[in-house]
């Protein structure tokens, strides 16, 4: 592959990444802090003592926290990716997966 072809591809990929990042930033953060969701997930994991390294249950709860914070962040805004209902259903699915992980420990 010629360098110019690679660089053209790279520009295309970087534009896509930038576009996706902007849309996700809208849904998960705000214009003042693009990484707000990471900070909030970190704080919530501390508050609820969730550590994905500890157990499959904590992994499920980690994903629930991510979804819940997205739902809260979109309270007064329209999503640019999946709908709020999709996130609410994802949250419920993660809860059932949490219960499955707990049950699997007992088997």
**What pLDDT, in 10s, does the model give residues 35-89?**
999 999 999 999 999 999 999 999 999 999 999 999 999 999 999 999 999 999 9
Which two structure tokens, joined as six digits, stand for 104? 């699997």
**Nearest alpha-carbon partner for 69 in 44, 47, 90, 98:** 44
Q: What is the pLDDT of residue 31?
A: 87
CB 30 within 8 A of CB 76: no
Q: What is the pLDDT of residue 107?
A: 64
CB 63 within 8 A of CB 105: no
Give residue limits of the domains in the chain: 3-106
Residue 30 pairs with which residues in a beta bridge? 33
The H-or-E segment that residue 17 falls in is helix 3-28
The CA distance from 56 to 39, in Å, is: 22
């Amino acid at each position: 592959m010629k360098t110019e072809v690679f660089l053209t591809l790279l520009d295309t990929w970087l534009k896509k990444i930038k576009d996706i990042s902007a849309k996700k930033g809208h849904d998960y953060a705000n214009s003042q802090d693009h990484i707000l969701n990471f900070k909030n997930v970190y704080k919530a994991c501390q508050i609820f003592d969730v550590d994905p390294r500890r157990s499959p249950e904590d992994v499920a709860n980690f994903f629930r926290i991510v979804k819940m914070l997205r739902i809260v962040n979109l309270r007064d805004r329209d999503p640019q990716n999946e709908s709020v209902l999709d996130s609410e259903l994802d949250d419920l699915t993660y809860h059932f997966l949490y219960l499955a992980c707990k049950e699997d420990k007992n088997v």
